[in-house]
């Protein structure tokens, strides 16, 4: 993939400010695009946009295709006439962190109300747009809305706990329940329609300001998802629908016992029978949403760490081969050149590098991982490739200030020696180092731009709760920060808009 030397910021929309308990696709998102434009940033990297389940992780969604209704801007619904101004008056939730539980209750109630008003009043062009959306997205939409309606019917229990006729999708039971839950399914279609309506407007605006959006595809899907319920034949499941092997990674930098993610493993041989159509549609869908797409855990397209489902940790897993080469070839035959980024972190073998390089995909370099192991460390700026992305850290890392404060003496000395400074300024000097590298794209988490410590990190891998909730404040994006970032971007030749 070829790209212009450029830079951008990593920020998930949930972290935007706003009075409704979570960032949304409304005014604050457009203002963030304006900040990116004014500071000469041409990329906005986000996390997956799917509807989150237990733990609120965007990497564990109820669908690989649906959008997260929690991101819908209520004020935009008022502007569209789907809600009355009085419906949102007096709502002023805390803005320090995302209030997931409260937001689910609030937006769930108001989206139902908005759907009723839409179906009773919408006419003409917008009603036609809704019908067109439902028809064009039927590949995933009908299964998803029925899945969510059934989940509500069965008190939010995972689909593997539902009565057998629904769990196994018996034809007669499905016909009856579609009629029974028709109203709930219609509400679900409406929520998806307005999500993609708002996202499309935001993406178009970003493009008009010279800002491209870098999206994210988790390589695996959640076990409790519409994807697994609707297409169980594509996964290694037992007769009850439970996975007998699950995904993860072996012991690494993040965890001494590895990471047992728990996602069901794909039956790749089954996917190959129809030319990997499910993956092709997934890529096609994501390329409509964003300008570039990162495949999270890219190495899982060469070999996957398969863990017996009964094991409590990832230590007892094994590597199994994956036909990622065949899948990518089929995808590019169908879609043309795909602007993919390979998240090639962790245990990377020559085979993984060969797969990445065969398709000319840029990989990733993380400066937090660069120090303490000598001059040959592949993430040190003098070793990185032009066809790659460089980061200070990612959403899974501590902030750079938090990382620096926690460093041991030996690694701190390594950083000091590399900078040639006894007291490097953190995170400013680390950002400068990333910007100055030959990597074609430089991405900095907003927390580092704002010089925040470890109390403001987005996610701690292996921690089951209290993640994904960080938000910035409106007043954080000052003119001084904007000017400093713009100057740094110009100095190192990354102005591309």
pLDDT, tens only, 80-105: 999 999 999 999 899 999 999 999 99
Q: For the chain, which domains are there? A: 6-491 (3.20.20.80)
Residue 109 CA neighbour count, 13 Å, CB half: 7
Residue 3, pLDDT > 80, answer: no
- Predicted local confidence at residue 245, as pLDDT: 97
Nearest to 388 by CA among 418, 416, 367, 415: 367
For the ranges 142-151, 181-190, 255-264, 380-389, the lowest mean pLDDT is seen at 255-264
pLDDT at 2 over 70: no
* Tokens representing residue 277 in the block: 């159509």
Out of 95, 137, 302, 396, pick the active-site residue.
Answer: 396
Residue 54 has pLDDT above 90, yes or no: no
- Identify the residue with better confidence: 497 or 384: 384
Cα dist from 260 to 12, 199, 247, 309, 342, whole Å: 24, 32, 7, 9, 21
Instruction: Give CA separation, 210 vs 7, 15, 34, 390, 391, in Å.
Output: 12, 22, 10, 20, 21
pLDDT, one tens digit per residue, over 297-327 is 999 999 999 999 999 999 999 999 999 999 9
Instruction: Give pLDDT, residue 465.
Output: 83
Whether residue 1 has pLDDT greater than 80: no
pLDDT over threshold 80, residue 365: yes
List the catalytic residue out of 56, 143, 197, 343.
343
CB 264 within 8 A of CB 237: yes
CA dist., res. 365 & res. 388, Å (int): 7
Catalytic residue among 82, 197, 296, 302: 296
Predicted confidence (pLDDT) at residue 372 exceeds the cutoff of 90: no
Q: pLDDT band for position 185 (50/70/90)?
A: very high
pTM of the model: 0.97
At residue 235, the pLDDT reads: 98
Of the chain, the percentage scoring pLDDT greater than 90 comes to 92
DSSP 116-174: HHHHHH--HHHHHHHHHHHHHTHHHHHHHHHHHHHHHHTTT--GGGS-HHHHTT-HHHH
Give the pLDDT of residue 256: 85
| Greatest Cα pair distance in the chain | 73
Percentage with pLDDT > 70 across the chain: 99
Task: For residue range 240-272, list pLDDT tens digits in order.
Answer: 899 999 999 998 766 789 889 999 999 999 999
The pLDDT tens digits for 463-486 are 878 899 999 999 999 999 999 999
The pLDDT value recorded for residue 255 is 78
* 412 pLDDT higher than 90: yes
For the chain, the average pLDDT equals 96
- Angle between helix axes 350-358 and 324-335 (nearest 10 degrees) is 10
Catalytic site includes residue 396: yes
Q: Is 357 a catalytic residue?
A: no
Q: Is 252 considered catalytic here?
A: no
């Amino acid at each position: 993939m070829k790209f212009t030397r450029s830079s951008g910021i990593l920020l998930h929309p949930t972290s935007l400010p706003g009075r409704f308990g979570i960032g949304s696709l409304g005014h604050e998102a457009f203002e963030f695009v304006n900040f990116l434009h004014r500071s000469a940033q041409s990329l906005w990297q986000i996390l997956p946009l799917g509807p989150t389940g237990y733990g609120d992780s965007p990497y564990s969604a109820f669908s690989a295709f649906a959008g997260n209704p929690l991101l819908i801007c209520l004020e935009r619904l008022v502007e569209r006439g789907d809600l009355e101004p009085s419906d949102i008056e007096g709502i002023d939730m805390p803005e320090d962190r995302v209030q997931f539980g409260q937001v689910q209750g609030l937006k769930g109630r108001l989206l139902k109300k908005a759907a009723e008003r839409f179906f009773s009043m919408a006419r003409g062009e917008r009603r036609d747009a809704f019908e067109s959306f439902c028809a064009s997205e039927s590949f995933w939409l009908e299964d998803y809305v029925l899945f969510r309606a059934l989940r509500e019917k069965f008190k939010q229990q995972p689909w593997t706990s539902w009565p057998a006729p629904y769990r196994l999708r018996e034809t007669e039971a499905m016909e009856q329940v579609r009629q029974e839950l028709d109203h709930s399914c219609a509400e679900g279609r409406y929520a998806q329609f307005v999500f993609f309506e708002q996202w499309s407007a935001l993406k178009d605006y970003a493009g008009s300001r010279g800002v491209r959006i870098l999206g994210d595809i988790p390589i695996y899907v959640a076990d409790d998802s519409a994807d697994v319920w609707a297409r169980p034949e594509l996964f290694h499941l037992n007769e009850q629908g439970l996975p007998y092997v699950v995904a993860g990674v072996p012991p690494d930098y993040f965890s001494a016992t590895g990471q047992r993610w728990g996602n069901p493993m794909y039956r790749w041989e089954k996917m190959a029978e129809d030319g990997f159509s499910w993956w092709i549609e997934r890529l096609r869908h994501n390329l409509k949403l964003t300008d570039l797409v990162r495949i999270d855990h890219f190495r899982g397209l060469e070999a996957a760490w398969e863990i017996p489902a009964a094991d409590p940790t990832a230590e007892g897993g094994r590597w199994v081969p994956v036909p990622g080469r065949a899948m990518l070839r089929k995808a590019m035959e169908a879609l043309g050149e795909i602007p993919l980024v390979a998240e090639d972190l962790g245990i990377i073998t020559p085979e993984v590098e060969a797969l990445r390089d065969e398709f000319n995909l840029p990989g990733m370099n993380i400066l937090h991982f660069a120090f303490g192991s000598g001059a040959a460390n592949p993430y040190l700026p003098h070793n990185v490739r032009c066809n790659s992305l460089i980061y200070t850290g990612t959403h899974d890392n501590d902030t750079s200030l938090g990382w620096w404060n926690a460093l041991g003496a030996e690694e701190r000395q390594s950083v000091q020696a590399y900078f040639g400074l006894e007291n490097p300024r953190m995170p400013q000097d680390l950002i400068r180092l990333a910007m100055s590298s030959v990597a074609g794209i430089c991405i900095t988490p907003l927390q580092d731009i704002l010089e925040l410590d470890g109390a403001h990190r987005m996610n701690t891998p292996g921690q089951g709760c209290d993640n994904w909730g960080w938000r910035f404040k409106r007043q954080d994006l000052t003119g001084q920060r904007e000017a400093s970032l713009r100057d740094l971007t110009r100095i190192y030749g990354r102005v591309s808009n």
